[in-house]
Amino acid sequence: DIQEIIAICKNDQALSSYFAISTGITDRDIAVLDEKIAACAVHGVNVQFICVDVANGYMAKLVEVCKTIRDKYPNINLIAGNVVTREVTEELIINGKVDIVKVGIGSGSVCTTRLQTGVGMPQLSAVMECADAAHGLGGHIMADGGCTCSGDVAKAFGAGADFVMLGGMLAGHDECEGDVVEVDGVAHKRFYGMSSTTAMQRHNGGVATHRASEGKTVMVPYRGGVSETIQGILGGLRSACTYVGADSLKALPKCTTFVRCRRQLNNIFK
């Protein structure tokens, strides 16, 4: 809720650097976006990121909307996606005037797009291809989906990602929305994909007759506060940089070589 974000940021202005207002590409979506940015401005909250978020980034409409938003808000960092290929990454940066391209189709833990539609691309390959295209144009990419542990986050940065988006790894914590419920004597919280029936019922009044759900709704074990999980991720990233000789996340791709293997872990003691 935008009023909640305003209240948090008014309490600490530095936090205005850490949220993005998300929008779709319909006229109504853009009108709501304008209302939210205006509300933030009234309260002195500086919006620094807008995310134009659609499941299928392969539409001319996405580029048009991004260009419109850029013309309207020239000083805001613009994020858009999702895509998985070089050509549309370049299209969004060159013609859509996007700063950060969101990469990933079907790779999320509660996403069923690949099962429902057969569409998708292995996430590591997509990140490598899109990062190469974006960096040649002065743009950035955000790897969206596919991370299950801190090692996966390190691989995403090593493949060229500038930002990594996490869903399942952060689900189940106090900071996540939703109530704690007991399932078979164990505390859980609900986690769902944004193309799931749960999300569409909540945000769009139900699943449209011409659509199918492309996401799951699952119960994940309750995990308490997020700080320990974040510390584990940051610790894994620091150690990864040490192993490969990188003095920063930006240097990781230059120090990283990928080798395909059948089994990464020794699972004799599970």
Of 199, 215, 89, the closest CA to residue 141 belongs to 89
Handedness of CA 147, 149, 150, 155 (dihedral sign): negative
Structure tokens at 189: 């919280």
Q: Name the H helices within the chain.
A: 2-11, 27-42, 60-72, 86-94, 113-117, 123-135, 150-158, 197-204, 227-244, 252-255
What distances in angstroms separate CA 176 from CA 73, 171, 216, 225, one per listed residue?
A: 30, 6, 17, 9
Question: Which listed residue (111, 130, 147, 241) is catalytic?
Answer: 111
Whether the Cβ atoms of residue 145 and residue 102 lie closer than 8 Å to each other: no
Retrieve residue 33's tokens: 């976006």
Question: Nearest Cα to 112, choosing from 151, 60, 55, 169?
Answer: 55
Neighbouring CB atoms inside 10 A of 178's CB total 12
In the residue annotation, 111 being an active-site residue is answered as yes
- By annotation, the residues acting in catalysis are 111
